[in-house]
Structure 1
Amino acid sequence: MNTVLTRVQEQVSRVDRSRSLLIGISAGLTALWSLYRVFWLFYSMSVLSGVGYSSGSLIFSTVFWGAIAVVAGGVSAVFLIRYLKTT
């Protein structure tokens, strides 16, 4: 069963194997950095609400970095799967 869309798979299969490893690792590090940012944004929201300030201004940043984490994680998975293929 193919988990990647056909058009995306065609585009990814054109990338060289060693370059796909580099892209996969870079995207994975970006996803980890984004998750780190989301963690600290949640922490900041809890601290601000504990002191009496509204944490609503941080919601946009949390959603933004969460979306980056999801997209970068998907890109990382696709390119690392491409790297692991033998052909």
Structure 2
Amino acid sequence: MKLVPASIEEQINRVDRQRSLYIGIATGLVAAWSLIRLIWVLYLGLTFGWFFGAMAFQVVLWAVVGAVAGIASIGFLTRYSKGS
């Protein structure tokens, strides 16, 4: 199952192998931070009540950032693991 579309995978394959490792690690950290933020927002919502305008925006924002960073991380780390 491929998570990264073919057109984006072509662009990722143009990146140097060592640089793809750095980008993959960095985007993986962003994805992990987004997950922590999502858990934190859900905790605050359950503890203090839901303020739908602000809470919905934060949940959607961090979910989108985390999903994009996760897919990018998978793409770049897969490129690194394949080799030249």
TM-score in terms of structure 1 length: 0.87
Greater than 4 Å deviation, 4+ residue runs: none
Task: Please tell me the residue identity of whatever aligns with 1:36.
Answer: I
For the aligned residue pairs, the C-alpha RMSD in angstroms reads 1.3
Give runs of aligned pairs for residues 69-84 of structure 1, distance below 5 A.
Answer: 69-84=66-81
Question: Which residue number corresponds to residue 13 of structure 1?
Answer: 13
Long gaps (5+) in structure 2: none
Given the alignment, which residue of 51, 67, 71 partners 1:55? 51
Question: CA offsets per residue over residues 66-87 of structure 1, 9 Å max, x none?
Answer: 1111110000000000000122
Matched, 1:38 2:34: no
Give, in whole Å, the separation in 2 of the partners of 1:6 and 1:40. 34
Give, in whole Å, the separation in 2 of the partners of 1:41 and 1:5. 30
Give, in whole Å, the separation in 1 of the partners of 2:51 and 2:45. 5
Does the 8 A contact of 2:25 with 2:73 survive in 1?
A: yes
Task: Please tell me the residue identity of whatever aligns with 1:29.
Answer: L
**Percent identity for Structure 1 against Structure 2:** 43
Give, in whole Å, the separation in 2 of the partners of 1:30 and 1:5. 21
The DSSP-based 3-state class of the residue aligned with 2:61 is helix
Give, in whole Å, the separation in 2 of the partners of 1:11 and 1:84. 16
